[in-house]
Amino acid sequence: MNKKYLRLFSAIIAAAYIFSCLLTCVYAEETPSAPVFTPEEQDYINSHSSVRVGYITDRIPICFQNDEGEADGISRLIFDRISSISGLDFEYTPLPVNDVTYDYLLDGGFDLVTSVEYNEENKNARGILISNPYLSSRKVIVAKDGMDFKYGADLTAAVSTGSQTLKKVLGRIFPTFELKDYESIPQCFDAVNSGDSDVLIQNQYVVEYWLSKPKYEKLQAIPIIGLDDDLCFSAVVSFDGQEGPSPENGQILIDILDKSIAAMSEDEVGSYIIQGVMDNQYQFEFSDFLSRYRYSVGIFIVAIIVIFILGIYVTRQRIRIAQSRTEAQAKSRFLSTMSHEIRTPLNGLIGLNFLMSINLNNNEKLEEYLKQSSITAKYLLSLVNDILDSSKLEARKMDLTSEPVDISLIINTVSSILGNAMQDKLINFSVSADIPFPYVLGDKVRIQQVILNLLDNARKFTSKGGIVQLSVSQTEKDGNILTSVVVRDTGKGMSEEFQKKVFDLFAQELDTVSKGNQGTGLGLSISRRLARLMGGDITCESVKGEGSLFTFTFTAPPCDPPKDENAEKSAGKDKKLPSILIAEDNELNSEILLELLHSEGFEAVLCDNGKKAYECFKNSAPGTFDVILMDLLMPEMNGFEAAKAIRDLDREDAKTVRIFACTANSFIEEKEKAYESGMNDFITKPIDIEVLLRKLKAR
């Protein structure tokens, strides 16, 4: 029979069977009565707290071990029903697939074995007693699709080594078959599929399960007329004086099972069959999909790769948006806030420049305008620095320094910086410090940046007359110093919902923004990431309307105090100021820098590209220049090339002249490249004049 029509016919039969079961359940007037157990049987039930059952593990869906390591399948469903009818409790133990002998069962203390074939061989076997059948089905032959099966043919039949009784049955019914042993039922199917064996014979429910696997789509099931496959339970008993369950007790157990089986209607058993088959249908795996559609999958994968290569940028953008909608919304708010934060001070600078231009003769007003202009420019610089810091941290390119840091000095500095602002707002600002280890190795700038950010936030969100407290303490931990900085305020506080995202990038609580406390939403995110880079963290506790408490911790090794820089500076006061060669292609920057250096008494020469700076140094007398301020991005010859060319000159001062990289790009790769090209130091634009002068005067 054609495989397609056979499956259609099987589906129709199954549907008719399910429908008949439903009709029977609706119209049934009688059900089997509950069994009546004899006194001996009831004593057995009462005295056996647990009956040990050995079950076969590879007969899906009849009897098998599931993913949780438990007995499962149609047999288990019927066993559970027998347990509820009889009152017996069953303990299920898996049996090995290949080697189940009578001695194994007796030595293992098994009382029962499930899914045993009900046939003459088992009825007459010594040491076991079998029950009436609890499940009736048929055996079918599995062969290659299109095979013309004949009963008298000389065929090779695949048989699982655990099916010893099946071998006897096949030897009796099909004497012309050559039986070949395989370790498991799946291996039997593989053997027929590969042609290593011609056929296999197995229970129809087991066959239907495995033939649903795409791997075996070229196999067919052939019904065998008159070859039933009734399954029963067998009780293990001792004989010939062996120790173990007595035949009498075994027979009592079998009688209890037979009565319980008889108490189940055919429709009830049929419902267990349907449930067992439906619950344990073959689950398609990805390998099945690849096996069936391997050529289509190959073409599809190639197409996907091509599409991916062509649209990689768009795909990444979409994935990023899909994975972080909340962050995208926060970025949108950030851009809106950033526009305000940048445009407002820019508007102020433009206005101040205009006011200065019309008040050139009014020194008092001019001085005030310059002061306000300086403050506004510094705010804009801090805004840019925050954005750059966030970008570096996001790319994991933040480079922390390790140098002696005076914690006490940092606390005094930040207190001094924000002290006046606190007073202007009538805030009660106090500082307490317990610093037994004042000097540690760390990044002074970043430590000060984090503390300033926490204190400035406390000032910003604390109303007039409020309280801001800064407390510092230290403990020794595993040879390092754990410094804890606590900032407490009595300000606006935060909602519980916002506290969960207060350290996220661009996070801002809407009500604080609307009340004039605008910010970029970057400070706390940057501060926490810096703290974690220092081996610490920042935590937050807050109550809406009552205030907040931020704790900043960082770990650093202790160190000795640095040398007295003031003494060194005093010793070098009478030294001649160094002469400077400037390589800068931006006319405004070079003009400002040249004017500043001249006003401080330095002699400086300006070149507007790297090639001219190289030629100027090359053509100068040895010792003419002590320092070169080298821009990195210049025409004709960039700063890296110019520095390397100067170092390669065959003259002594080419090796000793100090070369400072001056650039707006502060990424670590640029620093490493500058040092590799022979430069001594790295100065970030916009240049901090005080820092530059200090470096120039150092010897």
**Each residue's pLDDT tens digit, 228-258:** 888 999 888 887 767 778 888 889 999 999 9
Q: How confident is the model at residue 436 (pLDDT cuts 50, 70, 90)?
A: very high
Q: Average of pLDDT values for 26-30?
A: 42
Lowest mean pLDDT among 4-18, 62-76, 398-412, 480-494: 4-18
Structure tokens at 447: 């430590």
For residue 139, the model assigns a pLDDT of: 86
Q: How many CB atoms lie within 10 A of CB 472?
A: 19
Q: Average of pLDDT values for 423-431?
A: 91
CA distance 463 to 489: 10
The answer to whether the peptide bond before residue 686 is cis (omega within 30 degrees of 0) is yes
For residue 339, the model assigns a pLDDT of: 64
Q: How confident is the model at residue 117 (pLDDT cuts 50, 70, 90)?
A: confident
> Residue 284 pLDDT more than 80?
no
CA distance 245 to 113: 14
For residue 22, the model assigns a pLDDT of: 47
Q: Average of pLDDT values for 330-359?
A: 69
Q: How confident is the model at residue 555 (pLDDT cuts 50, 70, 90)?
A: very high
> Residue 516 pLDDT more than 60?
no
For residue 647, the model assigns a pLDDT of: 93
For a pLDDT cut of 70, what percent of the chain falls above it? Answer: 80
Give the residues across from 130 on adjacent strands: 234
Q: Average of pLDDT values for 284-300?
A: 66
Mean pLDDT of the chain: 81
User: How is the chain split into domains, by residue range?
Assistant: 35-132+234-279, 136-230, 325-394, 403-556, 572-697
Beta-carbon contacts of 166 under 8 Å, excluding residues fewer than 6 positions away, are 117, 159, 160, 201
Structure tokens at 162: 């655990």
For residue 568, the model assigns a pLDDT of: 47
For residue 36, the model assigns a pLDDT of: 87
> Residue 660 pLDDT more than 50?
yes
691 vs 388, more confident = 691
> Residue 570 pLDDT more than 70?
no
Lowest mean pLDDT among 60-69, 222-231, 280-289, 551-560: 280-289
Q: How confident is the model at residue 25 (pLDDT cuts 50, 70, 90)?
A: very low
Lowest mean pLDDT among 14-23, 310-319, 440-449, 662-671: 14-23
> Residue 636 pLDDT more than 70?
yes
The answer to whether the peptide bond before residue 562 is cis (omega within 30 degrees of 0) is no
| Residue 50 · residue 90 · CB < 8 Å | yes
Please give, one letter per residue, the 3-state secondary structure of 518-572: CCCCCHHHHHHHHHHHCCCEEEEEEECCCEEEEEEEEEECECCCCCCHHHHHHHC
CA distance 246 to 263: 26
> Residue 68 pLDDT more than 80?
yes
> Residue 16 pLDDT more than 90?
no
Q: Average of pLDDT values for 404-408?
A: 91
Q: Write out the CATH class of domain 136-230.
A: alpha beta
Q: What is the DSSP-derived secondary structure letter of residue 197?
A: S
Lowest mean pLDDT among 83-87, 235-239, 546-550: 235-239
Q: Average of pLDDT values for 37-59?
A: 89
Helix (H) or strand (E) run with residue 3 in it: helix 3-27
Q: Write out the CATH class of domain 35-132+234-279.
A: alpha beta
Sign of torsion, CA 407 410 416 417? negative
For residue 371, the model assigns a pLDDT of: 78
| Residue 583 · residue 607 · CB < 8 Å | yes
Give 325-394's CATH code, choosing from 1.10.3430, 1.10.287, 3.30.300, 1.10.10.
1.10.287
321 vs 127, more confident = 127
CA distance 584 to 638: 10
CA distance 393 to 556: 20
For residue 291, the model assigns a pLDDT of: 63
For residue 658, the model assigns a pLDDT of: 93
pLDDT in tens, 469-512: 999 999 998 889 999 999 999 998 888 888 888 887 666 655 44
Burial pattern 506-545, b for ≥16 Cβ within 10 A else e, equals bbbbeebbeeeebbbbbbbbbbbbbbebbebebebebeee
For residue 334, the model assigns a pLDDT of: 60
Structure tokens at 488: 């407490």
Lowest mean pLDDT among 27-41, 207-221, 599-613: 27-41
Q: Average of pLDDT values for 288-309?
A: 70
Q: What is the DSSP-derived secondary structure letter of residue 34?
A: P
CA distance 65 to 327: 47
Lowest mean pLDDT among 142-146, 335-339, 445-449, 459-463: 335-339
Q: What is the DSSP-derived secondary structure letter of residue 429?
A: E
Q: What's the topology of domain 403-556?
A: Heat Shock Protein 90 (3.30.565)
Q: How confident is the model at residue 67 (pLDDT cuts 50, 70, 90)?
A: confident
Beta-carbon contacts of 454 under 8 Å, excluding residues fewer than 6 positions away, are 485, 487, 527, 538, 550, 552
Q: What's the topology of domain 572-697?
A: Rossmann fold (3.40.50)
Give the residues across from 482 on adjacent strands: 475, 555
Q: How confident is the model at residue 612 (pLDDT cuts 50, 70, 90)?
A: very high
Q: Average of pLDDT values for 379-400?
A: 69
| Residue 399 · residue 668 · CB < 8 Å | yes
CA 82-88-94 angle, to 5 degrees, is 80
| Residue 508 · residue 519 · CB < 8 Å | yes
For residue 513, the model assigns a pLDDT of: 44
Structure tokens at 679: 């430069």
For residue 379, the model assigns a pLDDT of: 65
Listed ranges 18-22, 305-309, 611-615; the one with the highest mean pLDDT? 611-615
35-132+234-279 and 136-230: same fold? yes
Q: What is the DSSP-derived secondary structure letter of residue 606?
A: E
For residue 17, the model assigns a pLDDT of: 47
Beta strands at 658-663 and 627-631: parallel, antiparallel or unpaired: parallel
> Residue 514 pLDDT more than 70?
no
- Residue 310 one-letter amino acid: L
* Residue appearing with tokens 């050995």: 54
For residue 34, the model assigns a pLDDT of: 75
Structure tokens at 95: 């049996």
| Residue 221 · residue 204 · CB < 8 Å | yes
